Chain A
Amino acid sequence: MRIAVTGHVDHGKSTVLGRLLADTGALPEGKLEQIRAYCERNARPFEYAFLLDALRDERAQGITIDVARVFFRSAKRHYAVYDTPGHVEFIRNMVTGASRADAALLVVDAAEGVRENTRRHATLLSMLGIRQVAVVVNKMDLLGYREEAHRAVAAALLEHLGRLGLQPTCCIPVAGREGEHLVRRTGLMPWYAGPTVLEALDAFAEARPAEELPFRMPVQDVYRFTAGGDDRRIVAGTVESGTARAGDEVVFHPSGKRARIRNLEAFPDAAMARLEAGGAGGFTLEPQIYVGRGEVAALAGQPAPATASRLRASLFWLGKRPLHRGRDYVLKLGTARVRARLEHLRHALDADTLEPREGAEELGRHEVGECVLALARPLAFDLDQLAPGTSRFVLVDDLEIAGGGIVLEGLPDAAPGKGAASRFGQRPTAVLLAGDPEDPDGPAAAEVAGALEDRGRAVHVPPTGPDPVRAAADASLLVSAGLVVLLPARSAAAALLAAEARARLGPAVRVAWQGAGEPPEGLGADVRIDPGDARGLVQAILDWTEPAHPDRPGPATGAPAPGSPVRPTRS
């Protein structure tokens, strides 16, 4: 079982864990002596924490910087434990450790009480989907092992946990350095009748095998290795939930393609009977169809994943730069990657106080919130209860993973309905032709429109007035009617026009920048094209407005009313 140890900096996480390792006999011979010698050599008091804080900087500063994995066993089972850092600077490392865990210990200093990272860690545990938490009230030795001290800290923390919907399994008073109530109980706190830390760990429930849930296998790759005359074409992936057998009919989402499993492939055995939740496997198909990485394999006759290109989601943010509108992110869910934008921030909360920040338009570092994300194309997903593995995603900002989220529901596409999309055989889009204000002529919008019409697009160039709100509203109407709308935006107000258009049309807005220098801040250009390259501009617009693949079921399957959530449908 995998356990994360969390809590505020200096509340004794590494000490509790180090002492636990020592008391369960998990340390190799001579390890304690080695740490003692190290402390003597460096004229420092002995610390159990040095068993975990192995990095030079960690020992020099007396804090944990990065998460350590350690292993021990009880009479009941094996444990892998992630000791996470409690300093706010290293929240990303805490998330890295805690996300892998089946359960967590939340350590709080009895003397110092609940602090900001105690609460932040609790909030993140709840976001990460960790439901089993035991509270460890540490340093009881500093407070004379008094019951009132324990009770006060426990009450304050339970209140915060309650707001997060977390119900701790127990609230254990301990003295980490002394080892009291970790493994042994010497009667220093006769008023406490609950479990020790080791007993609390043993009482955590094993993660439930997800076999009774619908089958989900995000496709990692399709392999065709020809060495040695191998002609198998194998769809490979790790099963998130459910089971599958040879002969089962598989439906891939979002493409909707179907085929039967011919054989469950394995090495070194040629075949296996059953592919089950948690297993990394692969299969051949009959007939052979073209599918690729990023699709989700499900079984016909079981609840299918939902598909949408707009998502309502809970988010936590770790990025150095806030999450904001007008910036492109990459959303990774399962093995799918899709370009995403923040369409609307419903609310932002401080992960510490859980106080909402009024009028928030961006999600800052260490905040949690709820938002609507617009995706560049439809994505297959589940809701958390149905299949957690295909309901959680990360957002990549530039090159870094900057946030994590859980899909709450899929929303129908913004303005254009399915009917409008099919009317002209194109993807209705508002295209901003942005460029330098000093170069007001640029490539004439009418010329571009002509070239697009030659290629079968229905295009309109509305007369543009000075008011970007009005211009965006007009463009929105035209896009709703199924048209491709070109908006010359060579003025200083281009960024404002882009923001207004996105507020109405979400992902149906594209921005081409044809200036000499960098596009202005906040414009959110989708592409940069050389000012003289009319052909390149036309090609970019043709790509954007290419109709969705005909055998790809539109997100409006089942025709939900605007604003209503897209629920999983039966395939």
Chain B
Amino acid sequence: MRHLDTLESRSIHILREAYAAFPRLGMLWSIGKDSTVLLWLARKAFFGHVPFPLIHVDTSFKIPEMIAYRDRLVREWGLRLIVGRNEEALADGRTFPDGAVDRIACCRLLKTEAMRRTLAKGDGGEPFQAVIAGIRADEEGSRSKERVFSPRGRDNDWDVGDQPPEFWNQYKTDFAPGTHVRVHPLLDWTELNVWEYIAREGIPTVSLYYDQGAGTRYRSLGCAPCTAPIDSTAKTVAEIIAELSTGKLAGIAERSGRAQDKDDAGGLESLRRDGYM
């Protein structure tokens, strides 16, 4: 298991560098397995504490089990949580599928725009300078091109053609005022690594990842209207690992159940250029 130790140490190093570089730092927590592993790593990095607020961008279409699980961990681990919502879009019914907009526009409004506003509002007045996000390079093409410390423009936009160099564990930590930074400690982790780590550390995960008897489970969690469960009878972490490494999922992409990836020929790239995770 040496490989997991290496991944763990590198991620902790990055979390501590981010904490040293940015006084106004937050961490995105989607309630999914990746950002929960990130939360666990933060508790390791800071010896049982999480010295910055967690940010949950709540579209209001999240599956109810996710919210119950979120609130339980907030209580048990003593976390500080900021919930961000685009209340205007919700009130106007600009949502998918029963509202006035398509899938991609719904993502833009309820996730990208909600996050942009939450980050701008910040924690106690001043906007966040940086947020930590649990994206992985193996999820999707544009994420495979990400930097560990990735600067965004004033509107959270991503200039993929001109990213700063980073080498020898030295990241870009000097920024012009108004720049906003995404920090990505999990880029080198694969989906299988995440589950192996969850097994090794005994990290609690939301029940939707496991078959509850109906022969289906969620492999990737998003909003109820746009995330479909997969056929699987994996009931435990060990069974998920077996399924991913040698079983029926060994050759199928993780986000195959996420519809917004398919609506646009450029994959997630267009969404991500505008500030999506």
Contacts and interface: CB of A to CB of B under 8 A. Distances in A.
Interface of A: 25, 27-31, 38, 41, 52, 54-57, 65-71, 78, 80, 92-93, 95-96, 99-100, 128, 220-221, 223, 225, 227-228, 230, 232, 234, 236-238, 265-268, 278-280, 282, 293, 318, 330, 332, 335, 389, 392-394, 396, 398-401, 404
A96 B44 CA distance: 27
B164 A400 contact: yes
Contacts of B147: 96
A56 B9 contact: no
Contacts of A30: 252-253
Interface stretch (B92-100, B115-123, B261-269): B261-269
B176 A404 contact: no
Size bracket, chain B contacts: 35 or more
A317 to B, nearest CB: 11
Interface in B230-255: 251-253
Interface stretch (B65-73, B83-91, B167-175, B212-220): B167-175
Contacts of B161: 57, 65-66
Contacts of A56: 266, 269
A236 B16 contact: yes
Contacts of A318: 165
B251 A71 contact: no
A38 B264 CA distance: 12
Contacts of A228: 78
B19 A221 contact: yes
Contact of B9 (A278, A282, A293, A399): A278
Majority secondary structure, A binding face: mixed
Interface of B: 3, 5-6, 8-10, 12-13, 16-17, 19-20, 43-49, 51, 78, 137-138, 140-142, 144-145, 147, 160-161, 163-170, 172, 174-176, 187-188, 190, 251-253, 256, 265-267, 269
Nearest to B151: A399
Contacts of A80: 188
Nearest to A42: B265
A221 B20 contact: yes
Contacts of B20: 220-221, 293, 335
B168 A99 contact: yes
Contact of A66 (B51, B78, B145, B175): B145
A128 B175 contact: no
Nearest to A388: B168
A389 B141 CA distance: 31
B163 A66 contact: yes
B142 A54 contact: yes
A237 B9 CA distance: 10
Contacts of A52: 144
B253 A31 contact: yes
Contact of A265 (B8, B19, B47): B47
B138 A71 contact: yes
Nearest to B267: A54
Contact of A400 (B47, B167, B172, B251): B172
B134 to A, nearest CB: 15
Given A38-B265, A223-B47, A225-B47, A69 B144 contact: yes
Given A68-B145, A78-B3, A278-B9, A29 B163 contact: no
A55 B9 contact: no
Contacts of A401: 164-167, 170, 172
Given A28-B251, A65-B161, A221-B19, A282 B167 contact: no
B13 A404 contact: no
Nearest to B166: A96
Contacts of B168: 99, 128, 392, 394, 404
Given A28-B252, A238-B9, A267-B43, A70 B165 contact: no
Contacts of B16: 220-221, 236-238, 280
Nearest to A83: B144
B167 A267 contact: no
18 contacts: A27-B251, A28-B253, A29-B252, A38-B265, A54-B140, A69-B144, A70-B138, A71-B138, A220-B20, A223-B46, A228-B78, A232-B47, A267-B48, A393-B170, A399-B172, A401-B164, A401-B170, A401-B172
Nearest to A55: B160
B247 to A, nearest CB: 13
The 9 closest A-B pairs by CB, nearest first: A54-B141, A99-B167, A280-B12, A92-B165, A28-B253, A69-B137, A225-B49, A280-B9, A399-B174
B176 A100 contact: no
Nearest to A29: B251
Contact of B141 (A55, A220, A268, A293): A55
For B16, B46, B256, the residue with the greatest tally of chain A CB atoms inside 10 Å of its CB is B16
Contacts of A396: 174
